[in-house]
Amino acid sequence: MKLFLSNFVSEVGTQIYRIAIPVWAYTLTGSPIVAAGVVAAQFLATVIMGPLLSPLADLYDRKWLMFWSEALSGVAVALLPLFFMQSLAGWLFVAFLIGVLQAVGNPAVSAVVPELVGKEDLDAANSLIYLPRRSLEMVFMGLAGVLVAALGARAAFWIDAASFALSALVLLSLRPLPAHGAATTRDGYWSMVLGGLGYVLHNPVTRYVIGILAPAAMFGAIDATVPPVLATEVYAGGDARLGSMYYGFIEAAFATGAVLGLLAVAEVSRRFSRPAAFLGGLAVFGAAELSIGLFGSLWPVLPLLFVMGFANQIFIVPARSLIQMGVDPKFLGRTMAAWGAVMNGAALVGMMLGGFLAEFLGPQLAFVVGGSGVLVVALLGRVKGVPQV
């Protein structure tokens, strides 16, 4: 529960930051490329630094890794209102630094969950960890935009910094969570980096799950960049103001489905098994994504977006649980860091692919291509079969 509370507090500020940083960057520069680049810098940091920092979660007490990740993220965000409000280089530096700190903290969170609950409760625990993000997206994204507009970017950054600090204070109350690898390995640091990558590549469970999810994430991430274009150019007929409102509806429909998916995933996994939930959820996600491209108006698309959000959690939570159960505990931190790096890298490629497809094929066909790609990946995963855990 303390881990849940820490995530919740941190996510309140993060939702405000997600609105404030690209809006502020675009306001000062007038460049959507700069605004997107500030967001992409954080993803890029986890892709580059995740594998390099991966041994930390297998060497050091995960409580302190999570604490310092949150505490230093608060310091990093505070640099924006203190020194970098007018500095593009400063924005990129802070975004990259937060990505680096997440590359330390997120694998520690994922590695510690199996130690706090039994295997039968793993899906429920994983869903609880990620429930704050999705529930706040559903409830808070619109309010976050209002707060940023009313208070300004500087105040928004201070709120985010304070939320990180409060999250870190909550984490201080956790019991020690020592890493398994610290007591068993005599390898040097860089040998642990290479050993972890080798383990991920040779372990049948990680090779299968990450091998399926990486291309699926690439095709699925099209829904991260194309919806604003779809909402404005197709549904709103070029009316930017109406398109912004429609885009808000799109985000809310997906997030609502995701919240309900997180609440339902444990029961779905128990009833149908984790492998069935993983591949079935992936197939439903792809079918819904493909179907969105077949409609030229918003209203039939909103239920499909709800289904996408629901199915997203039905496949991603069991996938995480399969990895946590199928990995030697002394490699779990490095494995979850590799998971994060691969998923974020695939998402970055998918975002660029979505922009390319929307530019040359149109936003509707971009969804058709993305959904078709996810469906093919799910089918290949079914043909190959999930390894025994």
**91, 21 contact by CB (below 8 A):** yes
Confidence of residue 371 (pLDDT cuts 50, 70, 90): very high
* Cα–Cα distance, 12 to 378 (Å, whole number): 34
Q: Is residue 27 over pLDDT 70?
A: no
Name the residue with tokens 């969170």: 109
Kindly list the structural domains of the chain, giving each domain's residue range(s) and its CATH number in brackets, ordered by start. 1-184 (1.20.1250.20), 187-389 (1.20.1250.20)
Q: Between vectors from CA 215 to CA 211 and to CA 218, what angle results, nearest 5°?
A: 140
What is the predicted pLDDT for the residue at 301? 94
DSSP 363-388: HHHHHHHHHHHHHHHHHHHHHH-PPP
Q: What is the mean pLDDT of residues 220-227?
A: 79
How does pLDDT run across 257-279, given as a tens digit for each residue?
Answer: 988 998 898 899 888 888 899 99
Question: What pLDDT shows up at residue 185?
Answer: 58
Cα–Cα distance, 162 to 197 (Å, whole number)? 36
Q: What integer pLDDT is reported at residue 62 of this predicted model?
A: 82
